Amino acid sequence: MFESTFALSDASRVVAGVVLLTIVTIELGGTFLVRIASGKVPLTEFQKSFSRAGHAHAGVLVILSLIGLALADATDLDGFWGWVARGAVPLAAILMSGGFFASMAGRGRTEPNKAILVLFAGAASLAIGTLTLGIGLLIA
């Protein structure tokens, strides 16, 4: 069996497992982008750009989430702040990508609808998560 001196905490292991399962949805989003690029889904230029942005943010933030989990285990953060360090970035991945997609919904849309607020909530979650994790690492 594989032996390692590196091990994730139970909290980080569970969050990592859930985050890895979300990659299937990102893959499905990629197939949607292929349909858009091949002209099978008629969208405005605005909708195409928000589709690309939503997909890209999901992928990048999922990777950042996985890295952040390992880093969170290197801090002394526990309880509420430990969960913020582990959960705010994955939450940002959901909110930011969802905000891009939801705010472009609707036939012929050329500007975001009110769902753009979800994107901003995701940005706040990302900021809170990375600040918590960064400060946690600096004071560990």
H helix or E strand, kind and range, residue 114: none
Query: Treating both helix axes as pointing N-terminal to C-terminal, what angle do 45-72 and 79-103 enclose, rounded to 10 degrees?
Result: 170
- Tell me the pLDDT tens digit for each residue of 83-96: 999 999 999 999 99
- Tell me the pLDDT tens digit for each residue of 1-58: 566 677 899 999 999 999 999 999 999 999 999 999 999 999 999 999 999 999 999 9
What is the domain partition of the chain in residue ranges? 10-139
Give the pTM.
0.91
Residues in the chain, overall count: 140
What pLDDT was estimated at residue 1? Answer: 57
45-67 per-residue burial string, b: 16 or more CB within 10 A, e: under 16: eebeebbebbbbbbbebbebbbe
